[in-house]
């Protein structure tokens, strides 16, 4: 069938994002979700996460993850500062400022307390050197944000929020045994919380608002940001499983 013979396709009917982290159909975030389907499926099925869910993940692998995640968070919160800097309206500026304060002063303290349960001291966390994947991920993201618009900031930080929300809620829904491990259950509870889900939903909706009316060239750039940080999310799991530090 030639192109001209094809019936006009009605645009997908718009449906709002639900509160389970699913984008509305016909929205830019539906396109984004589609473009990383294989990458996110790879994350869900990576041995780091399958073993974390079953409780068989070794503590040294999880400790490596916790230490790298702390280094990651130190740079990730700067994306919220960039969000506040690049936003044009007070509401969005305020929301990013709140996120920065909450993550930096509350969540990172929770991270330090949680790490102590694995025998990781505060000094050890503070002196952790970023491994190659952590460094590449955070520096890519900060560069994309610094060079770009608020759309670039949000597209780059979104996989972190959205994929973790999906990982947390799917784990508890499909593998409730993940809540049995005395130490790992806290991790699943955190990422399956309503609070975390609504944060991810807010980011998804902001991405859709920012994408509205943009030319395809810009949408393609935002999609590339989103796909790249999604690939880094996969690599982060893989790095932690292999405990991949510098070789030399
Ligand atoms: C590699 C990596 N990617 C995503 C997250 C999840 N995460 C980190 S900060 C933040 C927002 C504020 O809570 C979220 C969702 C993580 N911890 N580590």
* Rounded average pLDDT per 10-residue block, the chain, 248 residues: 39 44 77 98 98 97 98 98 98 98 96 96 96 98 98 98 97 96 95 96 98 98 98 98 97
Neighbours of 148 (CB within 10 A): 19
Report how far ligand 1's centroid is from the alpha carbon of 191 (Å). 9
Asked if 76 and 138 count as a contact pair (C-beta separation under 8 A), the reply is: yes
Q: Whose Cα sits closest to atom 3 in ligand 1?
A: 160
- 107: annotated active-site residue: no
Give the ligand 1 atom nearest the CA of 200.
15
Q: Which of 158, 160, 231 to mutate to test the pocket of ligand 1 (most atoms within 8 A of CB)?
A: 160
Instruction: Give the pLDDT score at 24.
Output: 61
So what's the ipTM on this one? 0.94
Instruction: Give the pLDDT score at 26.
Output: 80
Distance CA 45, CA 244 (A): 19
Q: Is 73 in the pocket of ligand 1 (CB under 6 A)?
A: yes
Q: Whose Cα sits closest to atom 2 in ligand 1?
A: 160
Distance CA 152, CA 224 (A): 10
Backbone CA torsion sign across 170, 15, 155, 70? negative
- 160: annotated active-site residue: yes
State the distance between the two ends of the chain, measured CA to CA, in whole angstroms: 57
Residue with tokens 């389970």: 20
Q: Is 72 in the pocket of ligand 1 (CB under 6 A)?
A: yes
Q: Whose Cα sits closest to atom 11 in ligand 1?
A: 161
Task: Write the DSSP assignment of 32-62 as a string of letters.
Answer: HHHHTHHHHHHHHTSHHHHHHHHT-S-HHHH
Asked if 69 and 108 count as a contact pair (C-beta separation under 8 A), the reply is: no
């Amino acid at each position: 069938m030639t192109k001209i013979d094809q019936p006009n396709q009605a645009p997908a009917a718009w449906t709002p994002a639900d509160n389970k982290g699913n984008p509305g159909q016909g929205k830019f975030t539906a396109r984004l979700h589609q473009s990383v389907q294989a990458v996110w499926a790879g994350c869900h099925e990576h041995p780091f996460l399958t073993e974390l869910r079953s409780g068989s993940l070794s503590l040294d692998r999880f400790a490596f993850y916790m230490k790298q995640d702390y280094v990651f968070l130190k740079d990730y919160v700067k994306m919220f500062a960039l969000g506040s800097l690049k936003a044009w309206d007070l509401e969005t500026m305020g929301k990013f400022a709140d996120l920065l304060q909450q993550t930096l002063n509350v969540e990172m303290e929770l991270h330090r307390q949680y790490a102590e349960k694995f025998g990781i001291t505060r000094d050890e966390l503070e002196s952790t050197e970023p491994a190659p994947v952590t460094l590449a991920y955070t520096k890519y993201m900060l560069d994309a944000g610094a060079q770009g618009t608020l759309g670039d900031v949000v597209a780059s930080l979104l996989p972190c929020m959205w994929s973790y929300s999906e990982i947390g809620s799917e784990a508890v829904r499909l593998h409730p045994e993940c809540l049995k491990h005395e130490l790992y259950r806290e991790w699943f509870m955190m990422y399956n919380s309503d609070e975390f889900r609504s944060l991810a939903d807010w980011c998804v909706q902001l991405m859709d608002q920012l994408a509205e009316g943009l030319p395809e060239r810009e949408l393609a750039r935002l999609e590339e940001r989103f796909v790249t940080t999604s690939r880094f999310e996969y690599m982060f799991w893989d790095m932690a499983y292999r405990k991949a530090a510098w070789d030399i």
